[in-house]
Amino acid sequence: MNDKILVTRSTMPAFEEYVEAIRPLWDSHWLTNMGCFHRELESQLKDYLDVQEVSLVVNGHMALELAIQAFEFPSNAEIITTPFTFISTTHAIVRNGLKPVFCDVKVSDGTMDDKKIEGLISDKTVAIIPVHVYGNVCNVDAIQRIADKYGLKVIYDAAHAFGVKYKDKGIGGYGDAAVFSFHATKVFNTIEGGAVTFSAHEMYEKLYNLKNFGIRGEEIVSDIGANAKMNEFAAIMGLCNLRHISEAIEKRERLCAYYLEELSNVRGIRVFDSKKAVERNYAYFPIIVEKEYNMSRNGLYDWLRENNIFARKYFYPLTSDQECYKNKFKDNKLECAKELAEKVLVLPLYPELKREDIKRISDLIKIKGKV
C-alpha cells in the first residue's frame, strides 16, 4: 500500500542544529518575555522581509487581532474583508467588536476584487483587510488609492505571503500594517508564531503593550492587553529556519514546476494567474477543478484520499457561510468567492516532497480526467 502523502509537512532544521541553538537557555533560564533570541529574530526579519518594523507574537491570529486593536477603531465600525480565507481573518475582526463586510474576490487569483470595494464603503467603514491568499498578491496599488480617497486603514493578512516581494519591495511594507503566520505548516515557521510589520514606530510600543498585558513596569499597566509574547524556543526555531529559507523556497519552486509540467494538458484543471513584478514564495499549489474535468472538486478530493493523498479544500466553506457567521452580516453578492470555494483543491507541497510523489499525485488526477 502506498504511503500517505499529507497536504503539508513542517520544515525543520537538523536536530543537532536546533539542540545546539537552544543550549544557552539552560544557562540563562530566560525562556520568554522578549529575550535576546526574540529580539534577534525581530532584527533578522526586518532585513529578510524588507520592512521597517517587526513585532513578534505568539501566533498569526493574535498578530491580526492585536494589529486591529492597536488602531483603536470605534466599536461596531465596519471593516471590508474577504470571505475566501481562513476563519481567523474574520474572527479577528469580530473579536475586536467590529463588523466584517464581505467583498467578493477575483476568480483569476482569489484575492479581493478591488473594483467591488468602493460600493461597500459606508460612513461606518474604518479599514480594509485584504488577504494575499496562497501568496497571490492583492492589487495593493488600487487598494491604497481607495483607502487614501476615503481615509481608511489597510491591514493586510499576509499569513501566506512570507518572503513575497512586489515591485522589489517586501509585501509586509504595503498598507498601514501586515500580519504573518509562522505556524508549523507555513513556508517559514517558529513552531507557532506570527508577526506584525509596519512603518510607524509608535505602533511598536502599542503592540508591545498589547502583547504583554499592557505592563510597562512593576506597578504600571497602561493598556488592556493580552499575553501574546513569542517564547525563546520558538524564536530560536525561527532563527534556525531562517538560515535555510532560501533553499526551502527554491525546492518549492521546483516542485511547483513539476506539477505544472505534469498537469498542463489535463482538461478542466487550471491554476491561478501569476501577477507581474511578484517574487513568489510558492507556499501552496492550488488547482481549480472546472466543469470540463470528469468529476467535481469534491469527487477528486475523495478519489485522492482513497489513494492516500490528502489534499485540502482550502477554503471551504467561505467564512461567511460558517455556522458561527451565517446570516449574521450583510448579504453581499459573493458569486466568485462561492465558485472558488467549490472548485479549489490544494495539492500536497513541501520541500521534502519528491518528484515521484508529484508524478503519483498527477497520474491519479489524469486517470479521472481527459488529457
Q: Are residues 93 and 229 in the same domain?
A: yes
Q: Is residue 128 part of a domain?
A: yes
Q: Are residues 221 and 257 in the same domain?
A: no
Q: Are residues 81 and 211 in the same domain?
A: yes
CB 358 within 8 A of CB 293: no
Omega of the bond prior to 317 within 30 degrees of 0, cis? yes
Mean pLDDT, contiguous 10-residue spans, the chain (371 residues): 90 98 98 97 98 98 98 96 98 98 98 98 98 98 98 98 98 98 98 97 95 93 95 98 98 98 96 96 98 96 98 97 91 93 98 98 91 57
Q: Is residue 105 part of a domain?
A: yes
Q: Are residues 358 and 224 in the same domain?
A: no
Q: Are residues 61 and 77 in the same domain?
A: yes
Q: Give me the pLDDT at residue 54, please.
A: 98
* CA 160 from centroid of its chain's CA atoms: 3
Largest CA-CA distance found in the chain, in angstroms, rounded:
70
Q: Are residues 91 and 58 in the same domain?
A: yes
Q: Is residue 75 part of a domain?
A: yes
Residue (of 141, 103, 168) closest to 329 by Cα position:
103
What CATH number is attached to the domain comprising 289? 3.90.1150.10
Q: Is residue 315 part of a domain?
A: yes
CB 259 within 8 A of CB 358: yes
Q: Give me the pLDDT at residue 369, please.
A: 83
Q: Are residues 209 and 167 in the same domain?
A: yes
pTM over 0.85, yes/no = yes
CA distances from 241 to 13, 97, 255, 268 (A): 6, 36, 19, 37
Q: Give me the pLDDT at residue 332, please.
A: 83
End of a domain among 243, 260, 281?
A: 243
CB 166 within 8 A of CB 278: yes
Q: Is residue 4 part of a domain?
A: no
Average pLDDT over the chain reads 96
* Residue at grid coordinates 532563527: 239
Q: Are residues 92 and 238 in the same domain?
A: yes
Distance, in Å, from the CA atom of 158 to the CA atom of 200, rounded to the nearest integer, reads 18
Q: Are residues 230 and 258 in the same domain?
A: no
Residue type, 339: E
End of a domain among 189, 219, 243?
A: 243
Residue (of 180, 186, 122, 183) closest to 155 by Cα position:
180
Q: Give me the pLDDT at residue 370, please.
A: 66
Q: Are residues 311 and 251 in the same domain?
A: yes
Q: Give me the pLDDT at residue 1, please.
A: 52
The count of other CB atoms within 10 Å of the CB of residue 180 is: 33
Q: Is residue 331 part of a domain?
A: yes
End of a domain among 243, 266, 292?
A: 243
Packing angle, helices 60-70 and 87-94, rounded to 10: 30
Q: Are residues 206 and 278 in the same domain?
A: no
Q: Are residues 313 and 333 in the same domain?
A: yes
Task: Render pLDDT for 177-214 as a digit per residue (tens, 0 to 9).
Answer: 999 999 999 999 999 999 999 999 999 999 999 999 99
Angle at 12 between CA 11 and CA 17, to 5 degrees: 155
Q: Give me the pLDDT at residue 366, please.
A: 96
Domain holding 340, by residue range, is 245-367
Sheet holding 269-270, edge to edge: 269-270, 285-289, 344-347
Q: Is residue 201 part of a domain?
A: yes
Query: Containing H/E element for 68?
Result: helix 60-70
Domain count, the chain: 2
